A and B are shown apart, each in its own frame.
Chain A
Amino acid sequence: MTFICVGLSHKEAPIAVREQLALPVEQLGQKMKQLRALPGVQEALLVSTCNRFEIFAFAESKAVGEDLLTELGSVAAPHALCRFDEEAARHLFRVAASLDSMVVGEAQILGQVKDAAAQAQDAGTLGPQIRRAIDAAVSAAKRVRTETAIARGAISVSTIAVRLAHKLLGNLEGRSVVLLGAGEMAQLAARELKSQGASELLVANRNMQRAEELAREVDGIAVSLAELPSLLERADVAICSTGAEHHLITRELMQKALKARRYRPIFLVDLTLPRNVEPAANELESVYVYDMDDLERVAAQNRDLRAAQVVKAEQIVEEELRAFLAHAHERRAVPVLARLRAHAESVAKAELEKTLSALQGLDERQQKSVRAMAAAIVNKLMHQPTARLRAEAGEGPLGDAAAALFGLEEPGPSPVPIPVPPPGDTVRPSGGDDVPVSSAPQPPPEPDPEPARAPGAVLPLKRKG
């Protein structure tokens, strides 16, 4: 069995690619079911945010990674990374701890990971393996937040958007802000702009009732999205976060609004995928469009400033990862141990019953002594093998040897070989130094005498008994 992470984030793919993968929240459960239904996938979890689309799966073999990659589609797949076992677990830990975020240290990603797990649970695609990994990752993330100042110096994407608004418009007093859609980050940004002096906050939504609810929440005025052209003539800042699958604000629409605005600058913040604002609108004079990737560039400066805290956070994540791996290794030794002990105890029990029935006339005390002797023999014989197998944690040959010696093998799927990357166990299917998975022709599957494995893999490939 192997733990796989297939997907891409703001680091691997531009926003134009990521927006093609974006899924509405209500479709996530269905997508996870679809992933779980793929051959060889035992557990599946999908973390889908504006900045990442990553599938975590517990599968029978690494070959499943290819099927998961196919799920990303032909446009996104070349940008995607496949991580296996330890690398996949490390990535999950780093994501949850916000070390892989656009704004390192931001708090939202932890909630998003938990939400994804809850949705997977509801969809029935979450099993004990991924559950344990998620729990450990969440625990590591909490430790990072408590023991480092990474969150203190972190500024959210919404704060970056507000700073940029200041950079463009100076004093925000008397400015008009339009909030399109109901995204959480957009609401945060709108609230912050209002608190910094913006005179009006107009909340536009297709659904007028929803707009009114939101307006109450953010202390704004509800307007209909149908009024968008006139809103663009009025607004100084427009924050877009709708679920629209096309550009709401096109270059043409903005060009028409410009003359009526008398070329007053307008700041369009696009915090959603697919993007709501046509990127070409940025070419217009006095129109400044910033999407998630653009905000990342600004966030990068912030990240550099907190490099020391990031190093400390990385150390914590690594410690927690090591502890998780050690527990996982121990757990892996347990099945063989359990079977061995059960085997020994069943042999002892059978022999004991035989002996007791042969020795008629033993009183209760004597029978008890014989039983105790049998248990003591089993324990003494099992002590050394138990200690050795626990120490080996499923990594060495003893587990298989014990299974073979005592006839404890369990029938299971044969390992399927896939191209295995060099140490690091991360595969990018698009040229470079990485090993291609999807784009290069694959050799026909053959039984692998010794399937390759990442060093210290979390959940190793099934080995032949």
Chain B
Amino acid sequence: MATILVHISLLAYAAGAAAFLTWLVRPSRRWVQAGRILLLAGLALHLAAFVIPGEPNFAAIGLGAEGWKGGQLFSLLAAATVAGYLLLDWRWDLPVAGAFVAPFTVAVMVPAHLVKSSARAVAPQITHSLALFVHVGAAALGTAALALAFGLALLYLASERQVKSKRPGRLFARLPSLDLIDKAGYRLAVWGFVFLSLAIATGSLVSREATGTTLPLAPKQGFAILAWALFATMIQARLVAGWRGRRVALLVITGFVLLAGAYVGLLTAPALHGTVAAGGLLP
């Protein structure tokens, strides 16, 4: 049942992506409204799939679930990203970000649900860990916020390039103001940083529960710490020296790439560790 719901939500996301991309070519607000409704409907179905009892799901994390499919983390990440975007759009009316988020969601969901992945065993000593529950939730929310900030940073660079070059392209009229992209991106990066901090802190607790090591040296942890340090520097520079615009966008992009490195580390962790490590979600 959950799988069917997720597949339907994936179709809704794909249709939403098509609506937003069509809006880029044909600037009618109807496409934006259609895209928003489709993303909202997809999200509702998607969240429903997570809480259906009897199957490995997010609610089961930390409650003694036996297995967790690797793709489900990406599925959770996709849902968090869509939710984050809808909030962002509700607050600032940013349909152009929808044209980035919706295809991104589909790109994350397709491998998560259409590619078979084996269930990951969770070490018995952490199956009831609240820390694991918070860790996974914070990681998904933080990553979603930073993915949106990453998208806005790319949008900022593209938009600023058009303004600087003084050769506005076809999409120029539909791009939001540079100030808005900068502000929204910064706030998302701050939220992402907060959740990332929480994810790292709870991750170290999970790691200590599972292996006795608070901060094991592994690619996942290394990249996560680097990303965290970069975002911390960016926020500090913004607050103290007033950094903004292009240089902040470049830092956000770099930070998100480092964070993506942490996910690659997560996926390759079995080869490195072979058993339960700090992330808690391993085969």
State how many angstroms separate the Cβ of B249 from the closest Cβ of chain A.
11
Interface residue stretch chosen among A118-126, A187-195, A290-298, A367-375: A290-298
Contact A169 B177 (CB under 8 A): yes
* B30 in contact (CB, < 8 A): no
Which chain A residues border B179 with CB–CB below 8 Å?
Answer: 168-171, 265
Please give me the residue from chain B that is nearest to A294 by CB atom.
B166
Interface string of A250-269 (1 = CB under 8 A from B): 00000000000111110000
Please give me the residue from chain A that is nearest to B183 by CB atom.
A170
Which chain B residues border A288 with CB–CB below 8 Å?
Answer: 163-164
State how many angstroms separate the Cβ of B175 from the closest Cβ of chain A.
8
Tell me, in angstroms, the Cα distance from A301 to B171 when the chains sit together.
12
A170/B242 contact (C-beta < 8 A), A288-B164, A297-B168 known? no
Interface string of A169-211 (1 = CB under 8 A from B): 1110000000000000000000000000000000000000000
* A365 in contact (CB, < 8 A): no
State how many angstroms separate the Cβ of B26 from the closest Cβ of chain A.
16
Tell me, in angstroms, the Cα distance from A171 to B246 when the chains sit together.
20
Contact of A285 among B168, B172, B177, B247 (CB under 8 A): B247
Which chain A residues border B242 with CB–CB below 8 Å?
Answer: 261-264
Please give me the residue from chain A that is nearest to B247 by CB atom.
A285
Contact A263 B243 (CB under 8 A): yes
In the complex, chain B residues 161-184 whose Cβ is within 8 Å of any chain A Cβ: 163-164, 166-168, 172, 175-180
Contact A298 B168 (CB under 8 A): yes
State how many angstroms separate the Cβ of B89 from the closest Cβ of chain A.
16
Contact of A170 among B168, B176, B246 (CB under 8 A): B176
Contact A286 B167 (CB under 8 A): no
Task: Report the interface size class on chain B.
Answer: 10 to 19
State how many angstroms separate the Cβ of B96 from the closest Cβ of chain A.
13
Which chain B residues border A294 with CB–CB below 8 Å?
Answer: 166
Tell me, in angstroms, the Cα distance from A169 to B166 when the chains sit together.
16
* A159 in contact (CB, < 8 A): no
* B241 in contact (CB, < 8 A): yes
Interface string of A270-304 (1 = CB under 8 A from B): 00000000000010011010100010011001000
* B245 in contact (CB, < 8 A): yes
Which chain B residues border A170 with CB–CB below 8 Å?
Answer: 176-180
Contact of B241 among A167, A169, A262 (CB under 8 A): A262
Contact of A290 among B166, B178, B180, B244 (CB under 8 A): B166
State how many angstroms separate the Cβ of A336 from the closest Cβ of chain B.
56
Tell me, in angstroms, the Cα distance from A264 to B238 when the chains sit together.
11
State how many angstroms separate the Cβ of A91 from the closest Cβ of chain B.
27
Which chain A residues border B164 with CB–CB below 8 Å?
Answer: 282, 288
Which chain B residues border A297 with CB–CB below 8 Å?
Answer: 166-168
Contact B243 A265 (CB under 8 A): no
Binding site for B on A (CB under 8 A): 164, 166-171, 261-265, 282, 285-286, 288, 290, 294, 297-298, 301
Binding site for A on B (CB under 8 A): 163-164, 166-168, 172, 175-180, 241-247
Sampled A-B contacts (20; CB under 8 Å):
A164-B163, A167-B175, A167-B178, A168-B179, A169-B179, A170-B176, A170-B178, A171-B177, A261-B242, A262-B241, A262-B244, A264-B242, A265-B179, A265-B244, A282-B164, A285-B246, A285-B247, A286-B244, A286-B246, A301-B168
| Extra A-B contacts (10), CB below 8 Å, given A168-B177, A285-B245 | A167-B175, A168-B163, A168-B178, A169-B178, A170-B176, A262-B241, A263-B243, A263-B244, A264-B242, A297-B166
